[in-house]
Amino acid sequence: MKTKIAILMNDEKYLRSLSKFISSKITDCEVLATTEVRELTTLDLSSYNLIIVSSLLTEGVWLKALPVIRKFQNFILLGMQDGPELSETIAQKYGAAAYFRLPLSSDALLKSVSEVLEKSAGKVKIPDIITKDFIETINEFFRSMDNYNYYQFFDLKQDCTIEDIKKNYIAMARKYHPDKFRNVPSEIKTMAYEITKRANEAYSVLSHPNRKSIYDKMLSENKDLKRFDFRMKVAYEENPEDTVQNEQARRFAKLAKKAMDQNDYRSALTQLKMAMSMEKNSTYLTKLMDEVKKNLGMS
């Protein structure tokens, strides 16, 4: 199997040099060299044996990119001269297989890369959970989940308790959490991710008293309803800001409403602009904005 190594750093000259060096020294090796973290997010990162990453990146320090870096099987951290002060202890604390401070010895780096690849070859295996029965189960559930409303998704009746919802959500999250499927075929990984994503969506509605009451009302009016549309026009008087999906946008909406109640429409205008930049096409935010502009004499 071909070895796959990624290199991430903002110094393009050093990036090219290091990429050429690794390619020439590691047999049957595919090297991806990039200065952009976002380029990595489009790839199946778990299929890469190793990433060599600079402590200073285009987007800032390496810690900001750590959630992406940790999706690789291993990473080696290079401490740049203009980057943050680090030590091998700190690097290992965050999961680095090795740490080097530039300028470094090419032979030392190559030795470390070889050791990481050897250890990786012995560690990578398909998790025990991936049996024939499990593959059939996840395939069937994934194909069927669009036919389920949130209660059916958790295998619950509509009169269930919040404890029942939480219990079944946790069980499903444990069963299908993407972290358990790092070294599996991509199609299984994708199914696990989509199931977990839908579980989080369902739980965010059913565990929230106000959202649950809206959803239950929708189900009573439309038995074929499956998912909750936060942007639907619903007769809902208690907390209409809950129709705003984005958490930060919802917070700004609440601040805007509070300012409006105090006739501080200038402040409300600022808060609403922030909210609407984070969530587009919200009927509730548009309604508030229209009211604010009217009171400010804006057309």
Alpha-carbon span 120 to 130, nearest angstrom: 20
Q: Is the pLDDT higher at 245 or at 135?
A: 135
SS3 195: helix
pLDDT digits (tens, 9 = 90+) for 119-169: 766 554 555 667 788 888 899 999 999 999 999 999 999 999 999 999 999
Domains and CATH numbers, the chain: 3-123 (3.40.50.2300), 132-221 (1.10.287.110), 240-296 (no CATH)
Q: Is the pLDDT higher at 282 or at 20?
A: 20
> Structure tokens of 28?
């049957």
pLDDT of the residue at 237: 45
Tokens 């696990």 — which residue? 192
Mean pLDDT for 253-279 is: 90
Does pLDDT of 235 surpass 80? no
Mean pLDDT for 232-245 is: 58
> Alpha helices of the chain — where are they, by DSSP H?
12-25, 37-40, 66-69, 88-93, 106-123, 132-144, 150-153, 162-176, 186-206, 209-221, 247-261, 265-278, 283-296
Say if CB 48 and CB 74 are below 8 A apart: no
pLDDT digits (tens, 9 = 90+) for 47-93: 888 999 999 888 888 888 898 998 888 899 998 877 788 888 888 88
pLDDT digits (tens, 9 = 90+) for 170-192: 999 888 887 777 667 778 888 88
Whole-model pTM: value is 0.44
Average pLDDT taken over every residue of the chain: 85
pLDDT of the residue at 236: 44
In the chain, % of residues over pLDDT 70: 91
SS3 124: coil
pLDDT of the residue at 234: 47
